[in-house]
Chain A
Amino acid sequence: MKGTVRTGRILLLLGVLIFLALIPVVGRGTYYQHLGFLTFLFITLSIAWNLVGGYAGQISFGHVVFFGIGAYTTSILWLRGIPQLLTIPLAGVAAALYGLLWGWPCLRLRGPYFSIATIGVGEATRLLALNLENLTGGAGGLTLPTPEDIRLYLFGFYYMGFFLMLGSLLISAAIRNSRFGLGLFAIRMDEDAAEALGVNALSYKILALMLSAFLVGVGGSLYAQYILYIDPGTVFGFSMSVNMILMPIIGGIGTLWGPVLGAVIFTVIQDRIMTLSLNLWGFTFKLVQFHLLVYGALLVLIILFEPRGLVGLAERAYRSVQRWRQAKAMVPTTG
């Protein structure tokens, strides 16, 4: 019984993956290909944030810095003649090293204090990017060379995004079932108790941050190559940090599938609903003007009513269905 459920799940997953892999073949260069790339990117960011914020319980409000470092590393290196593909891993490594640089001091801070420091890290890094014009081009940003066959180019990036997402998911799943993951969970639930049992909390947190930074950095790198233009306001913008917090929380913080679910829903909200405009009482409202209100309210509602997000909601629903079934099964025996 358990075996068939498991096989069923794997088949479903394979089906979804194959479907996703075929989208650009069927509809090359379409809107769906574009939406697919963005979704893969956001899923990656969401999973990566969840490694630190969910698994290790260290809420980061400054995760965008890794995205920006990745994007700028790739752009700067590419513009200086380093082969484009080689810049991708380098972007990840640069982001991870940046994580080490500030994680090493900041992760000594506990819980909320770390979170405050990350707000500072985000702000300080953006300021640096704005002010190091020689390297970053300042507020004007950097424009990357347009490839010859843009359609083929974007087609390729769809798959890069796809594999990055797949890789992130596999990493996230592997961590859950590993000694590393056990240590992170222990740290999240009680850092002192974990240390007293031999968990080296600081290095585990740093390691989680670096791994997360690597994935986000590669994501930033792909983004820069895909959009071909970056500036500090976008790739170091606070709103990207907000997105990275929001997605895993919507889906279910600390879970494996929650961040994926949250990211998919978030991308759809972002791309479909936020571009709509409403006509009310003769006024035209563009929904995008309300996006922070919506996101803020979402955050508040989730924390108040279901801190484990959609995954928590689904579990609750599943349990009540089971209870209802049990109750139904009881009827003949009692009656």
Chain B
Amino acid sequence: MTLNLAILFVSAVLVAGVYATMSYGLALIFGVMKVINLSHAGAIMLGAYVAYVLIVGLKMNPFIAAVVVVPPLFFLLGILLERVFVRPVRKAPPIASLLLLFGVWLMMQNIAYIIWTGEVRTITTPYTMMRFNLGAVPINVNRLAVFLVGVFTLLALHQFMTRTYLGKAIRATAQDSAAAKLAGINTDQIDMVAFGLGTALAGMAGALTALIYAFDPNFGGSYMLKSFCIVVLGGVESFLGVALGSLILALAETLSVLWIRAGLQDFVSFVILVLALLVMPGGLPELFQRRFAVRQR
């Protein structure tokens, strides 16, 4: 029993790496622009297909494809989306960008259908079947690699956000856009970069997910839901929050197989999402903050 739990725990941690990458993309865009990016699902799905073309079609190394090639492509895609679709409705009520990006998602789905058909695809890498034992717990090399890539990406982003001017400007805009503008930051440009980065992260996460799971053109939806769930749990401000949220969701999902059938696993993220939205509108960070405030008094 403890061994089983250990195995489940390890597999949850390994999944959490990818979850964190994709959620951070969503959190970044929401934090900076206060826009809920429904095209996130489309970017995740397209990321998977682009990786498929590179790896299966062009015989590229899977991790080079997912880490080096996909993110810049999707950064450009994100910038394009921001300029063409999001910017014109920035001043409109939030419903406008919500519906608009929903439309973009539908279009992305259809494009994937036309190019790759609705057939379910998988990517097999040289590492897919490789495993080693950590004590008594078997660990899949492929999943471990995906996990590590996710973690390193977040660490690199953290450095970028705290050390570079651009990163600091992004954080300043997320905290108070009006004040950032007054301080001389070109917030329009920051919006664009944030949308680009967010989309790049979604694409990369999609590519990484495709190395583990099968996918089809509808595949982004449930991952977007998971991302929302994580962002609501972890808040949009901190890496730690997103990492923690990812871990909580991954654990809940993985452990849920003990009680409910696997087909209902996605149910877990939905229930957590709604509960989290209701119980703590500010997410985990607000909970900590509240604690802190009470202690101060």
Residue-wise interface mask of B (50-68) relative to A, using a CB-CB cutoff of 8 A (1 in contact, 0 not): 0000000000000000000
A contact residues around B278 at 8 Å (CB)? 105, 108-109
Contact present for B267 and A297 (CB under 8 Å):
no
Count: A-B pairs, CB below 8 Å: 113
Contact present for B221 and A238 (CB under 8 Å):
yes
* Docked complex: B76-134 residues within 8 A CB-CB of A: 85, 88-89, 92, 94-96, 98-100, 102-111, 113-114
Given contacts A120-B225, A123-B221, A123-B222, A297 and B103 within 8 Å (CB-CB): yes
Residue of B88, B94, B105 with most chain A CB atoms under a 10 A cut-off: B94
Closest chain-A Cβ to B261's Cβ sits at a distance in Å of 6
Q: Is A289 an interface residue (CB 8 A)?
A: yes
Question: B267: which of A111, A116, A127, A299 is its contact (CB, 8 Å)?
Answer: A127
B contact residues around A8 at 8 Å (CB)? none
Closest chain-B Cβ to A286's Cβ sits at a distance in Å of 11
A contact residues around B224 at 8 Å (CB)? 119
Residue of A59, A116, A123, A293 with most chain B CB atoms under a 10 A cut-off: A116
Closest chain-B Cβ to A85's Cβ sits at a distance in Å of 34
Closest chain-B Cβ to A63's Cβ sits at a distance in Å of 14
Question: B106: which of A242, A289, A304 is its contact (CB, 8 Å)?
Answer: A242
The answer for the CA separation of A289 and B110 in the assembled complex, in Å, is 8
Contact present for A293 and B94 (CB under 8 Å):
no
Q: Is A141 an interface residue (CB 8 A)?
A: no
Residue-wise interface mask of A (292-303) relative to B, using a CB-CB cutoff of 8 A (1 in contact, 0 not): 110111111001
A contact residues around B104 at 8 Å (CB)? 296, 300
Question: B88: which of A108, A245, A304 is its contact (CB, 8 Å)?
Answer: A304
Contact present for B106 and A295 (CB under 8 Å):
yes
The answer for the CA separation of A295 and B89 in the assembled complex, in Å, is 19
Q: Is A35 an interface residue (CB 8 A)?
A: no
Q: How large is the interface on A (under 10, 10 to 19, 20 to 34, 35 or more residues)?
A: 35 or more
A contact residues around B113 at 8 Å (CB)? 289, 292
The answer for the CA separation of A124 and B264 in the assembled complex, in Å, is 8
Question: A304: which of B89, B111, B267, B269 is its contact (CB, 8 Å)?
Answer: B89
B contact residues around A291 at 8 Å (CB)? 110
Contact present for B261 and A131 (CB under 8 Å):
yes
Q: Is A311 an interface residue (CB 8 A)?
A: no
The answer for the CA separation of A293 and B273 in the assembled complex, in Å, is 29
B contacts with A: majority SS: helix
Residue-wise interface mask of A (259-301) relative to B, using a CB-CB cutoff of 8 A (1 in contact, 0 not): 0000000000000000000000000000001111101111110
Contact present for A299 and B95 (CB under 8 Å):
no
Residue of A111, A119, A131, A297 with most chain B CB atoms under a 10 A cut-off: A119
Q: Is B239 an interface residue (CB 8 A)?
A: no
Q: How large is the interface on B (under 10, 10 to 19, 20 to 34, 35 or more residues)?
A: 35 or more
Contact present for B103 and A300 (CB under 8 Å):
yes
Residue of A61, A109, A112 with most chain B CB atoms under a 10 A cut-off: A112
Residue-wise interface mask of B (252-291) relative to A, using a CB-CB cutoff of 8 A (1 in contact, 0 not): 0000000001011011011101100110000000000000
The answer for the CA separation of A36 and B45 in the assembled complex, in Å, is 38
Contact present for A299 and B277 (CB under 8 Å):
no
Residue of A nearest to B262 (CB): A131
Q: Is B228 an interface residue (CB 8 A)?
A: yes
Q: Is A17 an interface residue (CB 8 A)?
A: no
Given contacts A119-B221, A121-B270, A128-B267, A290 and B110 within 8 Å (CB-CB): yes
Q: Is A136 an interface residue (CB 8 A)?
A: no
B contact residues around A296 at 8 Å (CB)? 102-110
Contact present for B274 and A111 (CB under 8 Å):
no
Question: A119: which of B106, B107, B109, B225 is its contact (CB, 8 Å)?
Answer: B225
Contact present for A117 and B263 (CB under 8 Å):
no
* Docked complex: A86-143 residues within 8 A CB-CB of B: 105-106, 108-109, 111-113, 115-117, 119-121, 123-124, 127-128, 130-131
B contact residues around A298 at 8 Å (CB)? 103
Q: Is B36 an interface residue (CB 8 A)?
A: yes
B contact residues around A127 at 8 Å (CB)? 263-264, 266-267
Contact present for B99 and A116 (CB under 8 Å):
no
Question: B266: which of A109, A124, A242, A292 is its contact (CB, 8 Å)?
Answer: A124
Residue of A nearest to B95 (CB): A59
Question: A293: which of B88, B111, B277 is its contact (CB, 8 Å)?
Answer: B111
Contact present for A123 and B263 (CB under 8 Å):
no
Residue of A nearest to B270 (CB): A120
Question: B274: which of A106, A112, A242, A290 is its contact (CB, 8 Å)?
Answer: A106
The answer for the CA separation of A130 and B111 in the assembled complex, in Å, is 27
Q: Contacts A293-B106, A293-B110, A296-B109 given; 8 further ones with Cβ under 8 A?
A: A112-B36, A116-B36, A120-B273, A292-B106, A293-B107, A299-B102, A300-B103, A300-B107
Can you identify 28 A-B contacts, CB atoms within 8 angstroms?
A59-B98, A61-B102, A106-B274, A112-B36, A112-B98, A113-B277, A117-B274, A117-B277, A120-B225, A120-B273, A123-B266, A123-B270, A124-B270, A127-B264, A127-B267, A128-B264, A289-B114, A292-B109, A292-B113, A293-B110, A295-B106, A296-B105, A296-B106, A296-B108, A297-B107, A303-B103, A304-B85, A304-B100
